[in-house]
Structure 1
Amino acid sequence: MRIQSRHPAPAQRIEPREIERADAVIEVLAPEGWTDARVEAWLDWAAEDQNDRAFDSEAPLGGGPARYADRLARTGLSDGLFGDAADADAFRDALLATMLAGVASPVGASAAPQRLPDIGEIEFKRAAEGHLARWRSARLAVKAAALLDAALAQVGDAVERCHGDAKACADPSKNSALGRAARRARELGADDVMILDAIALAGGPRTGLIEPDAEAPAPVVASASRQGVAAVDEAASFAAQVGWETSALILALSPEDAETLARGAPVRAAIDVTAFQHDESFDSAGFNQVVGLWATALEIERGDRPAEIGLAGIGDWLLIQGLSAAGDAGRDAASALWALTVGAALSASAEAAAVLGVDPAFAQERQTVLRGLAERRVRAAALRSPLASEAAAALAVAHGLARKHGLRSSRLVAAFADPETALRLGGKALGHAAAAAPVSTAQTADGLLVPTFSAAAHLCLTEAGADFDAARRHAMGHGSLAEAPAIDHLVLQARGFTAHEIELAEDALRHADGLRAAFTPAVIGAGFLSDVLGVPAEALADPNFDTLTFAGFSEIEIEAAERHALGARRLSDCEALEGELRALFAAIEAPALADRLAMIAAVETFTCLAVPAVLDVPFDARPADAARLQAAAARAGVRALRLNRIAAPAGFVLRLPEAEAEAPKPARAEAPFAEAPPAPVKERIVERVVERIVERGGRARRKLPDRRKGYIQKAAVGGHKVYLHTGEYEDGEVGEIFIDMHKEGAAFRSLMNNFAIAISIGLQYGVPLDEFVDAYVFTKFEPAGPVTGNDSIRSATSILDYIFRELGVSYLGRDDLANADPGEFNADGLGRGEGVEDGAIEAEPLPASKFISKGFSRGAAPDNLVFLPFGGRRDQEPRPAGPLQTGEGGDVCPACGDLALSRKGGLVVCDSCGTQAGDGSQGESDAG
């Protein structure tokens, strides 16, 4: 293979640079104009990705890129890929030149996800639950370990702070602080041995109990049906819950893509496409050369691993041309560029296969791969882009070489993302059509970071003829508070700030993230804030202390001044720009989900590999929201997706109701008539929803008495006879029920009998009857309809509805469950009796034998015992109180019990037995 020596970009001047590393300050040779962060990213790659960790201060970027290029050149020469040493040297020089020019970069290896079964298979749920359980355990272990470690540290501190006898200080019964700390540690799960160890280690060094990164979940991949995910079926809903909770589940919408994603950690490289855009033309020849160069490098490096090549700066490339990722023209342009990449990369892979051999995977799927290349060529030719014809031609060349030599890698091009590689390429984002933010930062000669427009945004504004100065002021502000609204120099001086403090804040504005950061105590000075503004010492100790708020400025005033000084950091709402230009920047700053999914689907028509579309889910979203987002991506046509739940903002606090204060216990009175203490005066009444939790001691079964009372109710529901038999405790509480059906099938009758047994067991174990009533009333199934034979229930929606209506009315006083006339009930629930007109109260007493079982009482109840119709219902008017009037209905005689008391003059006389009683209205008896 002969390598052309044409460099894709002019070489940059190399200059010495001092870089502050974690352990030392080093001097390194780096390209001119690169930021320190970009240089450090290359140094980190060399240290992590290469076996040789030697640092060469005489070589650019510590010698890492040179060692990488030299190693691949020597390997390619030994494998016979290069004809001679000159070809190998040319390959090495070209590869090194692309790295030092910032055009291309290797990508650090990433771990391959674990393969799970298809989400529709039963094995998936078991595997996913295991994955979820491990992640939850690790996550909770981190939280619990932190709390437990802090509690054990307090145990040691309680011993260390104690002054006196050492044995007494280490004894929880004698050191009260130690006792409290030990109890707290025990409540958090520490056993007594751990507490004893913490006491013994008091004063010594302590370490954490668990690694802090134990909660990071391992990625997993599973295949799924596109139709099922789009329809949010049961399997897709469960998968959405797993992805919502862990952010680590990749759903591939075809089994082939799932296998490819789990095939192993690939070797990767990325190319910056903006380096090939010159004015209004794209250097296709130079781009093809660099793609082929790095495809060859990956074929040499990969060995038995898969190889992937990606692109960076697609969104910036579109912005330079005035195209939006939200429009059809932008999607066609991006698709054409990816198609061109596939053609150039697979052509290089075919040339490598002629020397190194064909990949066994290609031999198995040869016809599928060739047919896919032919289809891509047809689709590329139909794109509305200047690169469409060149992309179709490149794919045709790749198709011919693949038929002749085969392919070393049939899946070589993927739209993956990697933040570290983006940093090495100068902030160019990797992915389908990602773009850098229009407002970024630049490093000055003295190392100061200042806001500036990205190169793509600068070119776009210039080409569009926009008001550059107005756009800069809108996005990056004036850099000063002079003439700022609400908070300018004069206002600050009126609030007590001197020219010295204002100057300090103005200097801090150059590199501050916000206006508040320029007025922190560390900038302004704690002495000034304490002496002049009167800030308390405890407020200054708070790391979140806000100087401007303390000085009396409102949130609206702070935001207005901050926007004047530091700008909006965006261009999508800049009124100085035309509407189309604002929409162009809006597509970069806040892309719509539908537009992003459409771009991903368009690009993946040409790429060789599926890359999961990352779907961000708000931290407070529910699993159902995640399932709907997942369905939208499936309907848009993406090949794979991953839910990513955004972390909660720092300092997020869930608002909880205030804890109820425990009511003070009343003091025991020393005398029977001791005066109770006055009730405390409530300053404010706050309504709260309080949940009462009743704890019952143990789970013992409360047995019914051997001889028990109850009642039997016969009724018919929808023509089906049903007998309800109850058994009661001594206090009248129901403890068992029996249900018998007349002329029903054996299976139905047996089911009802066993249902009654289950209810009875629940009642005897303490389940409240009202829980059963609430659970079963209004249940609907046949038989249902009119109810006959029951004086309080006239209809029911099922047998269970009728039974628990009857129990609720009879034992719980739930008259609301009775659907008969409410007037049919008096205070004792006995009714009026037959033939009584509305409004009339039955005066005739009823014999007790109507309500008390003679068999249960063994005949002990006397025959003359009656129930009297006392009182009235709550909804009736009470009888007027006062002395009896002659001729009115009588009252009960205390001697004979007859209703025969009547007033005769100043006396009340019983007409039956002649007993006389005094005037009750005078408060004493005259019959004494």
Structure 2
Amino acid sequence: LLMNMGLSYDSDEGRSMCAALTALMTGISYKTSAEMAKELGPFPGYAKNSQHMLRVMRNHKRAAFGKKAGYEGLEVKPVPLDAKNCPDRNLIDLAKTSWEEAVQLGEAHGYRNAQVSVIAPTGTIGLVMDCDTTGIEPDFALVKFKKLAGGGYFKIINQSVPAALATMGYGSAEAEEIISYAVGHGTMGNAPGINHTALIGHGFSQVEIDKVEAALPSAFDIRFVFNQWTLGEEFCKGTLGIPDELLNNPTFDLLSHLGFSKKQIEHANNHVCGTMTLEGAPHLKEEHYDVFDCANVCGRIGTRYLSVESHITMMAAAQSFISGAISKTINMPNDATIEDCQAAYELSWSLGVKANALYRDGSKLSQPLSSALVDDDEDDLEETLMEAPAGDRPQILAEKIVEKVIIKEVNRQARERLPERRKGYTQKANVGGHKVYLRTGEYEDGKIGEIFIDMHKEGAGFRAMMNNFAIAVSVGLQYGVPLEEFVDAFTFTRFDPAGMVQGNDSIKSATSILDYIFRELAISYLDRTDLAHVQPEGESFDTLGKGEAEGVSASQQTNEENLAMIKQVSSTGYLRKRLPQELMVLQGGQANLFEDSASIQEATGTDNAVSVSAQKSIGLPQLDDRAKAKMQGYEGDACGDCGNYTLVRNGTCMKCNTCGATSGCS
């Protein structure tokens, strides 16, 4: 929106516009909530919290009216609405009116909703809706890559850029040149240094030039186009005279082999594939650069990006009018220090921001950008040495060698083999009419280390392929590849067999066998409930309490030693990183059981046998068969056929692991 209006994200006008829209949205929402309360009554618990609720509402109203003082019960003052810098005065008037009415109606009728607004993480939804940005996030990059239905990609400029250029007075011809500077011209016809004329001089015919031109629109870099698969092996060997050992080398650069310099390749690349940035674009005035600033540096030659402070101050402008919090990631450069992170959080606190998340570029060893930067440094090393004074060259070279050694040591992983006897679980399911058995193996700490995949009644070739795929994944896990990487790579892959899933209590459909397998592993070992169709039962480590509905909590905390012992003998994946609630209650109550036993003995002078009977007579908890079954991972109900407490969930029904009987399904 701000880019369309020709406003910078990091500007007083941009922050004021954001605050005005947010104030209007939340003010109208609370006004509507009060009108609903008039007809249906306020939310449960409003009566005993009404004074606090109304105090919060009055503070929101003061912020909407731009007050800098007079807030009730606040040590950290919110950021008020900046009416002076708002480009649309009508928005200010509407926001004030909405909060005036929201407070008046709330004092008379209460509110139907305790909270009415948050800014949620909507990045994925935004992609489906074809939005450039969502929520309060700035644009991540000016150039996007759209996937084509028939395969391949094509580059498009952010939809807001043409509108912004028109708003700021640029003509259509100027805007077209500016956009072509960012996304590229898609042809080598008039490219500087490397063009049709230069290629003909190296032996290219019109046939090869046409092949290159056809591949350029979907290319990220012109060097990816000049290879044997585009030009043909016969042309590369016969006409260009490239030997097999070079042609099959994945690092071989054909353009450099033909004698083009790095500068010539770079200039041609920018002309054909685009710079991915608007910095230095023809006709674009420098004072307009800030309108197109993004969260990260754009392109290879870009240098501008939004500062950490600009993210936080934008959040603070909106936070005063959001009843909940804001989901927002603040991108920090690779050289950000601990002190920078501390300063960011302190600034957020001082401006009244409820929550934020920091991400430092390159903080993950597996991040592709890090390896790309290392490769670029290696390419530039020769030029750096040539330009440096002779006396400084040994030191530069030594620093580069030490840097490479450190990087290789960090990335090198030793294989961590599983114990000979290990835990795990077996999951049987039916995916699109095909039976699939998934077995896992775990380390002593519960971390997954191997998987086995068996397809029932499948062809020998397909079964062998799945078995060897499982081995490859297992080896990767044992060499330290995070399970998250496999999950991100293989979920939502689409091929047959696929369809409805039977036999799994959390997954009800899958787009492929691999999609099903890595959904199951993600739910069981990573607690990725976003990939589940049915929420797993039990309590996870971050489960929220239910307040008064839970009753009086146990006076003794859960016995951590006993819980650790249970994790050693039970599969983490089978329990899906959850402990049964009944187990946790029993653990928490054991100390009370022994305390009560001791007090009975002390008060009555009886021995242990008498005290046990006294415990039974006063109804103290006992570790019955149902609780034992829960501890072992079963559902806790007795089988109707054999009477054993070994029922496990099988789809929507139960199945006995002892006799195989089901509770109505098969």
Shorter-chain-normalised TM-score: which range?
0.3 to 0.5
Structure showing greater radius of gyration is: 1
Structure having the higher helix fraction is: 2
Structure number with greater CO (CA < 8 Å, separation at least 6) is: 2
TM-score, with length taken from structure 2: 0.46
TM-score, with length taken from structure 1: 0.34
